[in-house]
Amino acid sequence: MRRAQSVYSLLFMPRSIVPPFAAVEACCSLGERKLFANAIASTYSAAEWNRRWWSASSPSASTSSTSVKVGLAGALSFSLAMSTAVVAKERPPPELLPKEVVLYQYEACPFCNKVKAYLDYHDIPYKVVEVNPFGKKEIKWSDYKKVPILVVDGEQLNDSSVIIDELTRRIHVDNSIVDEEEMKWRRWVDEHLVYVLSPNIYRSTSEAFESFEYITTHGNFSFTERLTAKYAGAAVMYMVSKKLKKKHGITDERAALYEAAQTWTKALDGRDFLGGSKPNLADLAVFGVLRPIRYLKAGRDMVENTNIGEWYQRMEAAVGESSRLPV
């Protein structure tokens, strides 16, 4: 599954006119096709996260001068190690850099975030058009009615994984080697990891409301649409999440999330990234899909109860600042 169908349009659009969702066609109910409305992003700032993360791992203060000296030396060594561990972005050569890139998206969509992680890591400048999930007038010109849609130098590309494959083909023209491990974990993201997210972010009424609070705050809604989606959407998705658990054989949603996180960190096998010294497409896919939930309660619990936090921190540093262009 590589595309995101709007939860809002599915919630409030008559079933008879809901567009087909090929990526989840195995799901037999409308509710299950809402799975990928789990695209939520942070309610914490990056600075708040860094304070939270490092405060948990920093050494306690000591009144001993020896301890202070050792602590300072350790802090300096750690700082130097961190500065040398930062991975440089992989910007394409100027002759291969697209001239104009426009992303049609929902801000909270995990698949849109997957594409953005790729663009940011490769430092490819792009414009963003936020799509209203009710009327979708921003993509009225397109026969394809899902997001993300990426228009590269006038050419339309659909489906997050297809978009990433095509961009990779264009900017890495001399690299035709297929990395089987990378492909395996990219499939794992699309076929397993994404299924675990919805039952977690809609696990309780409070978590469902937290999710829709972000969606309605950052999405492209009118005032009336915002109120409708915020309250009705949270209630509906709380109920739908219970059906999703049953559909995908999930008994304990948090345990499933933690297991997925640990499965990924085990796959790293001691490496900084699955790609070794730098992220590969699988790293970017996992990071992109998880980024929308990273500071919601589900994401915070995941970091606190698994080993994924250190890898995620490295990915944040590697992907770096967004290359999104101001409107």
Q: What is the pLDDT along the chain (327 residues), one digit of tens a residue?
A: 455 544 444 443 433 333 333 333 334 344 333 333 333 333 333 334 343 433 333 334 433 444 433 343 444 444 434 433 567 788 999 999 999 999 999 887 889 999 999 999 999 999 999 998 878 999 999 999 999 999 999 999 999 999 999 999 999 877 777 899 999 999 999 999 988 988 888 888 888 878 777 666 766 667 777 777 666 777 777 777 788 888 888 999 999 999 999 999 999 999 999 999 999 999 999 999 999 899 899 999 999 999 999 999 999 999 999 999 997
Burial-class residue 37 by CB neighbours within 10 Å (0-12, 13-18, 19+). buried
pLDDT score for 46: 39
Q: Establish whether 106 is a catalytic residue.
A: yes
Q: How far apart are CA 284 and CA 194, in angstroms?
A: 14
Which of 288, 283, 258, 261 lies closest to 272, judged by CA?
A: 283
Q: Where are the domains of the chain?
A: 7-44+91-319
The answer to whether 7 touches 237, Cβ cutoff 8 Å, is yes
Q: How far apart are CA 158 and CA 304, in angstroms?
A: 35
The answer to whether 303 touches 312, Cβ cutoff 8 Å, is yes
Residue 144's identity, in one-letter code, is Y
Q: What is the DSSP letter of 131?
A: P
pLDDT score for 265: 98
Q: Establish whether 27 is a catalytic residue.
A: no
Q: How far apart are CA 255 and CA 249, in angstroms?
A: 12
pLDDT score for 219: 67
Which of 20, 216, 220 lies closest to 135, judged by CA?
A: 220
List, edge to edge, every strand of the sheet that includes 149-152.
Answer: 127-130, 101-105, 149-152, 155-158
- Catalytic entry in 109, 126, 202, 221: 109
**Other beta carbons less than 10 A from residue 15's beta carbon:** 8
The radius of gyration computed from the CA coordinates of the chain, to the nearest angstrom, equals 21
Output the six-digit token pair for 125: 């400048």
Element housing 59 (H / E): none
Report phi then psi at 190, rounded to 5.
Answer: -75, -30
- Catalytic entry in 106, 118, 134, 295: 106
- Catalytic entry in 8, 21, 36, 112: 112
- Catalytic entry in 111, 118, 214, 287: 111
Verdict on whether the full-model pTM lies above 0.85:
no
Check if CATH label 3.10.20.30 holds for domain 7-44+91-319.
no
pLDDT score for 122: 97
Q: Establish whether 223 is a catalytic residue.
A: no
